[in-house]
Amino acid sequence: MSTLASFRHIIRSVPRGKVITYGQVAEAAGFPRAARLTVWALNSGEDLPWHRVVAAGGRIALRGPDGEEQRLRLTMEGVTFRGSRVRMDVHGWTPRIRERRRGTSVRTSAFRTRDS
């Protein structure tokens, strides 16, 4: 499955009335800390519930008319806000994290990229 398809799959998994953050989408797609890839995915195709993707803390990242439309769409789905932010404790959606294959001969530790 392509990277793009993975992202799209995660985004499509968010049900009406729920929202997910850019960072969570990336993590679920197998790219923790690469929230910007979610933006890339959102702009790389149609047929996505784009309005259900919000920034950390339930903030709406889109500015201007687009942001207003997003809020309107969410409101129509029953999403509630606390000030300008979505109430994540109520509407936050947690997708099933994409699992990494554990090959018989390879250990994840062999692929460590950073941290420590």
Q: Which of residues 6-65 bind DNA (CB under 7 A)?
A: 21-23, 31, 33-40, 42-43, 50-51, 53, 55-56, 59, 61-62
Give just the sign of the alpha carbon dihedral 44, 48, 50, 54: negative
Of 45 and 78, the one with the shorter C-beta distance to DNA is: 45
For every residue of 48-63, DSSP letters joined together read --GGGEEBGGGB----
Angstrom distances, CA of residue 40 to CA of 8, 60, 82, 90? 10, 17, 28, 27
Candidate residues 4, 77, 88, 90; the one interacting with DNA per rule CB under 7 A: 4
Contact 108, 100 (CB under 8 A): yes
Query: Between 102 and 112, whose beta carbon lies closer to DNA?
Result: 112
Nearer to DNA, 59 or 78 (CB): 59
Rounded to the nearest 10 degrees, what angle do helices 3-12 and 36-43 cross at?
Answer: 90
Q: Give least dist CB 96 to DNA, A.
A: 19
Q: Least Å distance between CB 34 and DNA?
A: 3
Contacts with DNA, residue ranges (CB under 7 A): 2-4, 21-23, 31, 33-40, 42-43, 50-51, 53, 55-56, 59, 61-62, 66, 70, 113-114
